[in-house]
Structure 1
Amino acid sequence: MKIIVPMAGMGKRMRPHTLTVPKPLIPIAGKPIVQRLVEDIAKVCGEPVDQVAFIVGRFGAEVEKSLLAIADSIGAKGTIHYQDEPLGTAHAILCAKEALTGPVVVAFADTLFKADFTLDSSVPGTIWVQRVDDPKPFGVVKLDEQGRITDFVEKPQEFVSDLAIIGIYYFQDGGYLREELQYLLDNDIKDKGEYQLTNALENMKNKGTTFVPGRVTEWLDCGNKDATVYTNQRYLEYLQERGEELISSSAQLHNSVVIPPVYIGEGVVVHNSVIGPHVSLGNQSTVRDSVVANSIVQQSATVQHANVTNSMLGNHATLTGTPADLSLGDYNNLRV
């Protein structure tokens, strides 16, 4: 089994945090979004993952090293592939065409999920979906009476279905997918100005490929600050349910109260503060004389004399004062 992870986007809705790191490397409960995604897919695959192909922009050697380490952590070989132009989802996947062989899972790295099933690798294709209130921003699927997918529609402005494609797909034959993606590019077949994966899926379906929907218990978005903070909240609850240890043994907690679920990383120092619920404190961060709730504080950040909620603080950021809802980027220093 191979996992293909397109993640070359700029993550503009997550600025300022994506000015210094790609969005998929922003931490959720202490681990990068993309690492959580790869680990969760590996859990539901039902067979070993031998390769993880990351499709990236020119993010630099340190980012690529981190991605290869993520693949290694699940016992897989990591490979790096580049998408230098944002030409759509089909184009992005095809940038890793060398990896499109045998059974593959394609997972776009801006979403997480909760699921309690094992992937059925005997079916030709599975498209993970979730019912949504407003399907207009998403690709959606229509089903027949047997529960098979009959249509793929990209961002419908008129209602056709409320089953949104969450960005995770299984293909029994990666080579067949590669051929259909290449056909779109060779014949300049675009939808809304880009080469869309849904067009390839429609072609495959019309040629007799059976696609079935895969249902997840919960779909968690990481598209902007508020959504990412909420995803951190839900993921902490999920990890607590699984009984995972969330507080590092090297953390120093002095005269402080921790309200679970909370992730506290290595070397964190907390003095005279209340932490939680739903807080992630990155490695080597410091909190003094503060109340922090429902927030993500990244590595080596400092919070002091502040009341913080529904917020994200970047790496090496410093906050002194009383703001209650903010998004503070890497290396910024805010004093109120």
Structure 2
Amino acid sequence: MAGRGSRLRPHSLTVPKPLIPVAGKPIVHRLVRDIAKVLKQPIEEIAFVLGDPAWFGDDVVKSLEELAKSLGAKPSIYRQDQPLGTGHAIMSAAPSLSGPAVIAYADTLIRAEFDLDPEADSVIWTKKVDNPEAYGVVKLNEQQEIVELVEKPESFVSDQAVIGIYYFKDVAVLKGKLQEVLEENIMNGGEYQINDGIKKMMADGRIFKTGTVDEWMDCGNKVVTVETNGRMLQFLHDDGEEKLVADSAVLENASIIPPCYISENAVLRNVTVGPYVSVGADTVIEDSTIKNSLIQANSVIKNVQLDQAMIGNHVKYNGKFTQVSLGDYTVLE
């Protein structure tokens, strides 16, 4: 999670993208917990690969350490000092690369229910897509084993897109292959990629299988993040496992159309909110109608009609626009 999240600006200018809340919780928190549910076994350690300490500071580290401890795991923090690709990022966590492990990119959310194949040396999680030419996909043999990774195929290879979550029975094997990639200076697009380590494992006869997720939700830019917020709210509403309206929220003449997430100490007066709206802690919304939107913490929103909006933290917004994307500390009065 060392990247700067440039496609999600202005929201990622002040908050690292993996810590931007979706349906009330930071993206990386939801991802880690969702992976833990799929694994169905204790997790000993969670290692986070961060970027520049000036960007991923002490507050970020504290949040991640608390996340790991809440799952009974030891937290480990590593730094990728240069943006040199996924393979380089993984090797930044070299001391933790032993035994069974999951590696995940922290800008995606999933819903999945399957058992890891005990015969596989590795499982690459995929999602069936309608337009595989737009993705990196896996090529399968007759035994349904992955034999090749193909990036944006011009002709049909398969409709199983790689989503950026991997399981390794012994991640030390990948570590050794990625070390070879670094030593041989194998680069694609000026970066060291996890795929080149995986290809070396395949060349040695290691068995790769697919684990297909039911839902794959991107958080790469404003449009898809707002969409993912709505989809996640619907899942949470249907599951009934999370409380979506905080007891401390103040609702005065407020109509809430579920599913919505209303955080602690939020104040809603003379509003209609929902469906598919998340409201952050201590945010005040008055005299407004809002749907399909994500509004973060400590903001004051008045006299608005919003749809497909994403509003950051500490925003003051009093207006009549509809589709907006406002970063932290923005004022429109």
Asked if the contact 1:94–1:181 (Cα under 8 Å) also holds between the matched residues in 2, the reply is yes
* TM-score, normalised with respect to structure 2: 0.96
Q: Which runs of 5+ in 1 are unaligned?
A: 1-6
Q: Does 1:280 align with 2:278?
A: yes
State yes or no: 1:14 paired with 2:8.
yes
* CA–CA distance in structure 1, aligned partners of residues 122 and 6 of structure 2: 32
Once superposed, what is the RMSD of the aligned Cα atoms? 1.3
- Pairing 1:102-121 to 2, within 5 Å after superposition: 102-121=99-118
How far off its partner does 1:154 sit?
3.2
Given that 1:154 and 1:198 are in contact with CA atoms closer than 8 Å, whether structure 2 keeps it comes out as no
How far apart are residue 117 of structure 1 and its match? 2.2
Partner residue in 1 for 2:20: 26
The residue matched to 1:193 in structure 2 has which SS? coil
Give 1:133 shift: 3.4
Q: Deviations over 1:220-271 (max 9, x none)?
A: 0001001000000000011011113211011010011000000000001000
Per-residue CA shift, 1:140-159, capped at 9, x if unaligned?
Answer: 21011221101012344555
Aligned to 2:28, what secondary structure does the other structure show? helix
**Aligned match for 1:190, one of 162, 165, 187:** 187
Residue 130 of structure 1 aligns to a residue in which SS?
Answer: strand
The answer to whether 1:80 aligns with 2:77 is yes
Checking the alignment, whether the CA contact within 8 Å between 1:262 and 1:277 is kept in structure 2 is yes
Task: Provide the rounded CA distance (Å) in 1 between the counterparts of 2:136 and 2:95.
Answer: 26
- Does 2:69 match 1:53? no
2:66 corresponds in structure 1 to 69
The residue matched to 1:289 in structure 2 has which SS?
strand
CA distance in 2, matches of 1:155, 1:334: 42
* 1:253 equivalent among 247, 251, 254: 251
- Opposite residue 88 of structure 2, the aligned amino acid is H
Q: What SS is found at the alignment partner of 1:194?
A: coil
Distance 1:123 1:253 in 2: 52
TM-superposed deviation, 1:286: 0.8
The gaps in structure 2 that reach 5 residues or longer are none
Q: How many residues align?
A: 329
Aligned to 1:4: none
Alpha-carbon distance in structure 2 between the residues aligned to 1:119 and 1:29: 28
For residue 281 of structure 1, report the CA deviation from its aligned partner.
Answer: 0.4
The match for 1:220 is 217
TM normalised by structure 1 equals 0.95
- Which amino acid counterpart does residue 78 of structure 1 have in structure 2? P
Task: Give 1:121 shift.
Answer: 4.7
Match of 1:298 in 2: 296
Instruction: Give, in whole Å, the separation in 1 of the partners of 2:297 and 2:226.
Output: 16
The answer to whether the Cα contact below 8 Å between 1:114 and 1:217 also exists between their aligned partners in 2 is yes
Q: Is the 8 A contact 1:103 1:170 kept in 2?
A: yes
1-structure distance, mates of 2:319, 2:100: 53
Percent identical among aligned pairs is 50
Tell me the CA shift for residue 72 of structure 1.
Answer: 1.4
Q: Distance in 2 between matches of 1:26 and 1:325?
A: 19
Alignment CA distance shift 1:253-1:307 (3 Å)? same
1:286-336 deviations in whole A, cap 9, x for unaligned?
11000111111101111100011111110111111111111101111112x
